[in-house]
Amino acid sequence: MDEKDCPNSEHSTELEHLCSKAAGRPRSESARQAILVAADYLLARDGYGGVTMEAIAVTAGVSKATLYRWWPNKSAVLMEAFVAANGTCCAGPDTGDVGADMLRRMRGMTAAFAGAMGVTISGMIAEALADQEAAAVFRAQYLAPRRAEAVDALTRARKRGQIRAGADLEVAVDALYGAVYFRLLTGHGPLIPEFADALVETLLSGLREK
Amino acid sequence: MDEKDCPNSEHSTELEHLCSKAAGRPRSESARQAILVAADYLLARDGYGGVTMEAIAVTAGVSKATLYRWWPNKSAVLMEAFVAANGTCCAGPDTGDVGADMLRRMRGMTAAFAGAMGVTISGMIAEALADQEAAAVFRAQYLAPRRAEAVDALTRARKRGQIRAGADLEVAVDALYGAVYFRLLTGHGPLIPEFADALVETLLSGLREK
Amino acid sequence: MDEKDCPNSEHSTELEHLCSKAAGRPRSESARQAILVAADYLLARDGYGGVTMEAIAVTAGVSKATLYRWWPNKSAVLMEAFVAANGTCCAGPDTGDVGADMLRRMRGMTAAFAGAMGVTISGMIAEALADQEAAAVFRAQYLAPRRAEAVDALTRARKRGQIRAGADLEVAVDALYGAVYFRLLTGHGPLIPEFADALVETLLSGLREK
Amino acid sequence: MDEKDCPNSEHSTELEHLCSKAAGRPRSESARQAILVAADYLLARDGYGGVTMEAIAVTAGVSKATLYRWWPNKSAVLMEAFVAANGTCCAGPDTGDVGADMLRRMRGMTAAFAGAMGVTISGMIAEALADQEAAAVFRAQYLAPRRAEAVDALTRARKRGQIRAGADLEVAVDALYGAVYFRLLTGHGPLIPEFADALVETLLSGLREK
DNA sequence: TGATAACCGAGACGGTACGTCCCGTCTTGGG
DNA sequence: CCCAAGACGGGACGTACCGTCTCGGTTATCA
């Protein structure tokens, strides 16, 4: 929210007092970490609906007041815990073969979503659907990096001439990722490697008869 | 659950007592309708999380016990109300031009999801994510007919030679619909007609440079 | 608060429906009794400050919601429990000797206040001091009957000619009872029989030298 | 608690280091005064239960730690603030007419208790009822001087022959003061001058018919 | 003239009770 | 057997205050 860090403070000597070093006892970083770890653990164990603020507090060895001091409600805690645990986005190498790279990407995604990760992320999306604030965090911290990474890969492939010039890559990524999320959320079809294969093939080749 | 209807009861006279015509007062159909209407109204007004069984009962002029007599829990009532209000699936004409037909379909869908329908369906999916029973109803009553209709349309086009023989139409529909749901659920991009246009074009033409 | 009983209902036949018999599940009398018993028990065991709504609910085998359905807060429950347990006011016989009767009364009172009753009643007064509502209940249900009984006894004695005509008996009772409460509340002197004796003697004889 | 003053330190030169003149920054007297003033103000404004340590600290421009450094808990602060503000006991002149003097005393007391002072002192007593420590302070600092003063006045009158020899003056003062406190605490009757008049008259003349 | 030690503000912390809300079940009387 | 009304047990929520703690910074006195 507000800017608290002090950039380049090593260079400023006479202005140091302006950087009002936040009087009072500083926030306990260990408590923060314990809370996020506990929330992530409970999220995986009990599912979104099963997690309780009380349980997070007890598991983290923290008072409920501390939870509410730093997060406005349950969804905020869980969302931050989720992105803290799953925020990093492993890009993977660019082999030069856009089809193979994309296939690897989608296979990894379907495999992850088919496992424990699937129920967790379902819960997070369900929460994002009901809480604007949580949705923003989820988008910015989790979704955006992954989409950007995929769009980048396609853009590089287009520069290499592997993808036709006019293609809307943003939309293409929506179609690829959307299909997987669609199956995850609605469960109408299995999240198996063959699905990933067919999806990539469909997007690359298109439906129209030449 | 239990079998209540009494087939051919008009022919059996001496066995009438066996076919226990549900002695006592029959279920009030007006109450059922009032409940579904109230649930749908509240769902649109307050969103899934904001709806209360108490509120449904009061709005419908019905007692809470009546709700629980016929539905096992909140999500069951809301899901049935939702499919009752949005269950019918308007197929639309098959003009012979698969691109135009698909475009019409996706434009209608994006327009609907961009409006009040969007928050309602978000809520239903959120619930489906947490309740297996509700998920099954949602899939069977709402999702399946729409997917089937779209797959059918593509299949007819393939028979007409407009779509290449090897295409996996199930996966193609997942990609089309999934992209729209993806934007609805995560809100990372707008649900505008241009999105529908680009989506159909991407799917039909594919990404690969020929 | 509102009038719910139906006086003379045995005489009205055609107006019976007006006496709207309180539709819905009636209040559980057993729960009410259990609550009052539990509250009284905890009050004696833990003192006013030590009693918890949670504890009352658990001890009574009742949900916290039921407590708050019928009483607005802790002090209301405890006050009602207190007067339910200590409400009845044993008058004692009128022997014809006002001095002896009054002495018996004050000795009983000091003895009671010197024991466990003392801490309980201290707590109730402390609460009454902080809660107007509780104060009204305490006055009307506990204090008033006792004062009235004492004033009546003095009035009868005055009619018998044992007490001078001009004496303000209300004020006299305040002085008698007030002295005992004063010692209870401030603890500056012991609540022993001799104190009761001296008090009655002082009030009867007065201070002035004749 | 611990002995901090250093009597006769001006005479001891070689032992000065034993009487460690509390090295370091001394206690801030201004903070102490600000706290007591703030506590007294809040006590009058919000009543005992409404006062918060946090509020005292903020109002006094002092940290909560400073409060707890010098007082063990809330009641200790408020009690000290109360006696600091109301500790001095104005004796009033001894006119030689015990009746008139006592009347003046009781009228002043009823008038004070009928005003803002009433709620404050109620709160202090309520607290004293729940906290042994606070009770001792209240008795010793507030109550005792006033009782002693009244007993002294009566004793002088007895020496003058205005009060009969056998009267128990301690008990008489309890009856006088107790009656006023009784009305204050239970609120069953008004604290008006006429009450003071009747009270003094009752105590002086007694109830018994001669 | 520092050094030292206790002071001070700010405010985060664990803990505990509060009072509210909703769920899904039940118990009435009446149709 | 159904229905409206509404009380019930259960349990999570978010708030408030208590009394403790840990920071950085501030003064008096002692060395």
pLDDT digits (tens, 9 = 90+) for D42-82: 998 888 889 999 999 999 999 999 999 999 999 999 999 99
Give yes or no for residue D101 having a pLDDT over 60.
Answer: yes
Nearest nucleotide from residue A73 CA, by C1' atom: F14
Of B130, B172, B205, nearest to A49 by CB-CB distance is B130
Q: Which of A181, A187, A180, A188 is nearest to A107 (CA)?
A: A180
Q: Vertex A87, ends A81 and A89: CA angle to 5°? A: 165
Q: Å from A41 to nearest chain B CA? A: 18
Predicted pLDDT of residue C59? 97
Query: Hey, what are C90's tokens?
Result: 């044993």
Query: Hey, what are B41's tokens?
Result: 């109204």
The CATH class for the domain spanning B98-205 reads mainly alpha
Query: pLDDT-derived band of residue B201, with 50, 70 and 90 as boundaries?
Result: very high
SS3 C164: coil
- Interface membership of A168 toward B (CB under 8 Å): yes
Predicted pLDDT of residue C9? 40
Q: Which of B123, B126, B127, B105 is nearest to B179 (CA)?
A: B105
Rounded Cα gap, residues D176 and D153, in angstroms: 13
The CATH class for the domain spanning D29-74 reads mainly alpha
Between residues D26 and D145, the one the model is more confident about: D145
Residues on chain B touching A146 (C-beta within 8 angstroms): none
B96: left (phi over 0), alpha (psi -120 to 50) or beta: left
DSSP C140: I
Rounded Cα gap, residues B109 and D128, in angstroms: 71
Any idea which architecture A28-72 has in CATH?
Orthogonal Bundle (1.10)
- Interface membership of C173 toward D (CB under 8 Å): no
Query: pLDDT-derived band of residue B10, with 50, 70 and 90 as boundaries?
Result: very low
Rounded Cα gap, residues C129 and D47, in angstroms: 10
Mean pLDDT of A99-128: 89
- Interface membership of B100 toward A (CB under 8 Å): no
Give yes or no for residue B103 having a pLDDT over 70.
Answer: yes
Any idea which architecture B29-73 has in CATH?
Orthogonal Bundle (1.10)
Give yes or no for residue D2 having a pLDDT over 60.
Answer: no
Q: Do chains B and A touch (3 or more CB pairs under 8 A)?
A: yes
Mean pLDDT of B39-53: 91
Lowest mean pLDDT among A47-61, B32-46, C15-29: C15-29
SS3 content of chain A, % helix, strand, coil (to 5): 70, 0, 30
Range 148-167 of C in CB contact (< 8 A) with D: 154, 161-165, 167
Q: Do C186 and D123 touch (CB under 8 A)?
A: no
SS3 C58: helix
Answer whether B199's CB lies under 8 Å from B180's CB: yes
Residues on chain C touching D176 (C-beta within 8 angstroms): 175
Mean pLDDT of C165-173: 94
Answer whether A75's CB lies under 8 Å from A51's CB: no
- Interface membership of B203 toward A (CB under 8 Å): yes
Q: Å from C55 to nearest chain D CA? A: 19
Give yes or no for residue A61 having a pLDDT over 80.
Answer: yes
Task: Express as a percent the part of chain A with pLDDT over 90.
Answer: 60
Q: Do A174 and B167 touch (CB under 8 A)?
A: no
Closest residue on chain A to B195 (Cα):
A171
Rounded Cα gap, residues A173 and A152, in angstroms: 10
Q: Which of C110, C114, C116, C49 is nearest to C78 (CA)?
A: C49
Total number of residues shown for chain D? 210
Predicted pLDDT of residue B189? 86
- Interface membership of C185 toward D (CB under 8 Å): yes
pLDDT digits (tens, 9 = 90+) for C116-136: 888 888 888 888 877 888 888
Nearest nucleotide from residue A66 CA, by C1' atom: E13
Predicted pLDDT of residue D22? 57
Which subunits count as partners of chain C given 3+ CB pairs below 8 Å?
D
Mean pLDDT of C181-209: 91
pLDDT digits (tens, 9 = 90+) for A5-49: 343 333 333 334 444 556 788 999 999 999 999 999 999 899 888
Task: Express as a percent the part of chain A with pLDDT over 70.
Answer: 88
Domain boundaries, chain A: 28-72, 98-205
Interface contacts (A, B; CB < 8 Å): 182
Predicted pLDDT of residue D8? 37
Mean pLDDT of C83-100: 85
DSSP B92: -
Answer whether A106's CB lies under 8 Å from A196's CB: yes
Mean pLDDT of D14-26: 53
* A28-72 shares its CATH topology with A98-205: no
Residues on chain C touching D172 (C-beta within 8 angstroms): 202, 207
Q: Do C206 and D209 touch (CB under 8 A)?
A: no
In sequence order, the 6+-apart residues with CB closer than 8 A to the CB of D6 are: D19, D21
Between residues C14 and A21, the one the model is more confident about: A21
Predicted pLDDT of residue B22? 54
Residues on chain D touching C128 (C-beta within 8 angstroms): 185-186
**How far, in Å, is the CA of D23 from the C1' of nucleotide F30?**
8
Predicted pLDDT of residue D4? 36
Give yes or no for residue C32 having a pLDDT over 80.
Answer: yes
Q: Do A205 and B206 touch (CB under 8 A)?
A: yes
Give yes or no for residue D3 having a pLDDT over 70.
Answer: no
Query: pLDDT-derived band of residue A202, with 50, 70 and 90 as boundaries?
Result: very high
To the question of domain C27-73 being in CATH 1.10.10.60, the answer is yes
Q: Which of D29, C146, B209 is nearest to A206 (CA)?
A: B209
